[in-house]
Amino acid sequence: MQKLTNGTSVVMVEGKTVREVIDNLDKQFPGIKDRLCENDRIRPNFAVAVNSEIITVGLRKQVEPDSEVHFLPAVSGG
């Protein structure tokens, strides 16, 4: 997805929830919200990690100052 962020791998952005983070990310890099979200939720083929914990509450997950938010492929197991 670095094509959408002009090659930048780490981006600083404001937000108190994952939703706000994505909204503000989209202001910097238009189109990224559409890549990540659909029907007001994270697309099912993505997993979101906040401070390296894969979260299950989607956009409403609260984030703290200095939180790291990662977008990864969805994972499962066997």
Residues that bind other proteins (CB under 8 A): 1, 3, 9, 35-36, 43-46, 49, 51-57, 68, 70-78
Q: How far is the CB of 15 from other proteins (least distance, A)?
A: 18
Q: What CA–CA distances, in Å, run from 10 to 68, 71, 72? A: 9, 12, 14
Which residues are paired to 72 by β-bridges?
47
Q: How far is the CB of 69 from other proteins (least distance, A)?
A: 11
Between 16 and 41, CB nearer to other proteins:
41
Are 50 and 18 in contact by the 8 Å Cβ rule? The answer is yes
